[in-house]
Amino acid sequence: MIEFKAECGHTVRARDEDGGGVVRCSYCGKPANVPEGSADDLDFLFNDVEQDSNDSKRGKRRWRKSRGAATRKRARGQFNPFAVVLRFCYAALLIIIVVVVGDQFVIPLFREGGVANRSSTPGGRDDVSGGSSRDARGSPDVRRGRTSKPRPGVLLASSFPPGARIFCIKAEDAPPEGRIHREKKVTTCVNEICKLSGYGVFVVEVAIPVRDSQLRLFPGFNNFRRKLRDTSKVKERQRMAEEYFIPDGSVVLVDRVGGQEYIVRQYRQERLKDRATAVRALFLPRIPKAAGRGYSIDALIKDAFIPEGNAHEFDVADVSDELKSFFNIEQPERDAIVEALRRIGVISYVTPDGRTNLFEIDVENGMLGDKVITDPGR
């Protein structure tokens, strides 16, 4: 079939065998020469446009079958700003969902050992008395670190017993000695979280009142308070506090604010951008052992001075073996140390060779750390 335009502008259709001949236009009745071949599709489209233009000039535009059809066809070519904004909103919502799901569920699976560190046992905890969840040292199915994972860059600060006030300041802004709680640039930590600006070394101060109801339950605490009351020498009062409480590597101060006396521990802790760090102050009494040097960790647990609940998870078999093989700590004291680490993540202990070691569980990866600390009461 050959389609072409007659002189009047009307489209004429002729059979292929009529090519090169003459046919009559059905619109104007005049003869029209049939081209040799069918017109190019693109030319035909242009011819339609020309015809529409000619019909418009002549007032012969044909009406559409329905007014609704004409409206819909024109709407396709119109710019709708609302539709564009709506599409952007859908795209932004999709991006937010992907970011949140990835940050909360996907990324943690691959951080610090990934899925392999998720414990396969109910609750993900080890048995204190005998090994990890697969009863194998270094087992990959042990979830490690603090039970509630902190975000990277966070500085955590807590006290045992809880209830102490916590202050933090950059080391370069801290005074050379003494308390920091009244410095202009000091930050007060709330619910264990220290919201700090910048990274580097900070001075962390943890202060608990001497009249705290939990401290009054400690054995010999009232005698300790009477000794503090009867002396005004700063160094002597500091020495008394250091001898009564178990050491944790901090600087110990005794300070009076108004009518209240405070036991204060100060630490220097580096805040890193890519990982969380923690300061855990120990206001726990030295309870002498029945025999031997040091103090009893087991008594602190049995008398409920160390709070219940497993806040830290780690490979128990590996930590227990390290305490035995390297530090020469035997049962039952080894189990008491492990239990204290699971509850509060840190404990100090006088080893058989006379060293006072501070054992700590890393809040992110659950690895055991240790350092020798000064023990004035040894």
Tokens of 34: 């049939």
3 state SS of 109: helix
Q: What is the pLDDT of residues 4-37, one digit of tens each?
A: 788 887 787 888 777 778 777 877 878 888 787 6
Q: Does the pLDDT of residue 185 top 90, yes or no?
A: yes
In whole numbers, what is the pLDDT of the chain averaged over residues? Answer: 80
Q: 50: which residues sit within 8 A by CB, 6+ positions away?
A: 9
- Quote the pLDDT of residue 100: 75
DSSP string, 238-299: HHHHHHHBPP-SPEEEEEEETTEEEEEEEEEEEE-SSS-EEEEEE--B--B-SSSSSB-HHH
Please compute the mean of the pLDDT values over residues 165-180 and round it to a whole number: 95
Q: Does the pLDDT of residue 124 top 50, yes or no?
A: no
3 state SS of 165: strand
How far from each other are the two terminal CA atoms of the chain, in whole angstroms? Answer: 111
Highest mean pLDDT among 114-123, 148-157, 335-344: 335-344
Please compute the mean of the pLDDT values over residues 302-310 and round it to a whole number: 91
Lowest mean pLDDT across 13-27, 119-133, 251-265, 301-315: 119-133
CA–CA distance, 333 with 191 (Å, rounded to integer): 32
Q: Does the pLDDT of residue 1 top 90, yes or no?
A: no
Lowest mean pLDDT across 107-121, 131-145, 318-332: 107-121
Asked if residues 66 and 41 have their Cβ atoms less than 8 Å apart, the reply is: no
Q: How far is CA 278 from CA 89, 205, 236, 262, in A?
A: 40, 13, 30, 22
pTM: 0.63
Query: pLDDT-derived band of residue 60, with 50, 70 and 90 as boundaries?
Result: very low
- Quote the pLDDT of residue 109: 56
Strands 155-160 and 277-282: parallel
Q: How far is CA 14 from CA 28, 32, 362, in A?
A: 16, 10, 90
Q: Does the pLDDT of residue 183 top 90, yes or no?
A: yes
Q: Tell me: cis bond preceding 332? Omega within 30 of 0 counts.
A: yes
As beta bridge partners, residue 205 has 167, 266
